[in-house]
A and B are shown apart, each in its own frame.
Chain A
Amino acid sequence: MTTLGVWIAALLTLFILSFLYKDNPFYKFAEHLFVGVSAGYGVAFTYHNILIPNLYVPLFKQGDYTLIIPLILGIMMVLRLFPKVGWVSRWPLAFVVGVTAGISLITYLQSNALVQIRETLRPFNTFGNVVIAVGVLTGLTYFFFSKEHKGVFGKTAKVGIWFLMITFGASFGYTVMARISLLIGRMHFLLSDWLGLIK
């Protein structure tokens, strides 16, 4: 990092942190710059990693003319910016939705449903396996809304809520720690790289 780079990074860090006092022009400046720079990053990344290797080179250098189809569909997608012909963007959108639905159906069935069920159905030879089986079954019972949560069914769903609460608490704890570690990272940058107060 050059000295100028460190100063830019430090000032932008302070601009964002100034929001802790209240919303102000420095924060808004940094916020808008962040959106612009992130969008620009997306453009450059997409150009070099998707459009050039998957469209430009195969179509114009190697003569794979089937790629004219996604090129036309892509142009149709951009036409959404023009209200009079915007309806044609439904075609590429339909393709994207269809492919996503087809892939999701298989991958979710495999990895999220079948694998998770298989891993849950383990012999009750440890206390942990019992906890997992009970937690999954009661949790799924809570998510079943076609039957009123009353009686034994309601009590089972209640146990499911307890497991879900522990899950949310653990996830929340992890999220807090991740954010705090980012904050420590920024403070370390300011005090070490910028001000040189700590080594």
Chain B
Amino acid sequence: MRRQVPLVITFVAGIIMIIQYFIPHEPFAGLQQRFNVWFLIISAFALILGIGNLIKIHGERISRQSAGWGYSVVLLVGLVTMSVVGIGWGIEPGTPFFYLFWNIQIPLSSTMFALLAFFIASASYRAFRARSFEATLLLAAAILVMLGRVPLGNFLWHRLPAVATWIMNYPNTAGQRAIMIGIALGVISSSLRIILGIERGLGGGQQ
């Protein structure tokens, strides 16, 4: 029962989502719309599960007063404040939620990603050393694309922006396509394995 029911649910849900594409009429079209809404609702509960887990882990850290428990207090205060303010007063511009979003979350997230500029610079120093023909290609493509997109590139050589555009439109597109087709074939075979119950490692643990 514990093993068979999830397999049946996966099979039925997956098959209906496939059939509705080929037979876009009732009952399959209606089922597809209904399943999409159900999917959204269950995903929302999955977020609640994640939040519950976060509260559990950091609550334990605080109650045990383990190293860095003060940061867990900061995390939980941020979580509770944002949730209560958002649920209580709404999330539109002009609300307290939006004030917190604009003055805390936006600066934090954009600075966090901006910080990566420094790490990506040191990573590129290591990656861009022309030790082989392949590494040289990587180096040349990156430099040409970067220079071609800034005024300095145009100043150095007026055709550099066109070279960067050509690299993006042709060799880059070819590589991206090969990757995309490879991913698509992988996703299609994995999806089939999951729907047919061949892939069973998605139950999550040995409960």
Contacts and interface: CB of A to CB of B under 8 A. Distances in A.
Interface in A131-161: 131-136, 138-140, 142-143, 160-161
Q: How large is the interface on B (under 10, 10 to 19, 20 to 34, 35 or more residues)?
A: 35 or more
B115 A20 contact: yes
A40 B179 contact: no
B111 A70 contact: no
21 contacts: A13-B107, A16-B115, A32-B71, A34-B108, A35-B75, A36-B74, A40-B82, A44-B97, A73-B38, A90-B2, A97-B10, A105-B187, A132-B174, A136-B178, A140-B182, A163-B175, A165-B141, A166-B138, A173-B149, A180-B117, A186-B107
Given A12-B107, A44-B87, A101-B191, A36 B78 contact: yes
A140 B178 CA distance: 5
Interface string A9-37: 11011001101100000001111111111
A-B complex: 3 closest residue pairs judged by Cβ atoms: A44-B86, A135-B174, A40-B82
Interface of B: 2, 5-7, 9-18, 21, 34-54, 56, 68, 71-72, 74-83, 85-87, 90-91, 97, 99-118, 120-121, 124, 127, 133-135, 137-146, 149-150, 166-185, 187-188, 190-192, 194-195, 202-205, 207
A195 interface: no
Interface of A: 1, 5-6, 8-10, 12-13, 16-17, 19-20, 28-48, 50-51, 54-55, 66-67, 69-71, 73-75, 77-78, 80-81, 83, 86-87, 89-106, 108-109, 112-113, 116-117, 119-120, 128, 131-136, 138-140, 142-143, 160-177, 179-180, 182-183, 185-186, 189
A5 B9 contact: no
Main secondary structure of the interface of A (DSSP, over half): helix
Contacts of B86: 40-41, 43-45, 47-48
A164 B175 contact: yes
Contact of A161 (B44, B56, B134, B204): B134
B10 A98 contact: yes
A167 B50 CA distance: 36
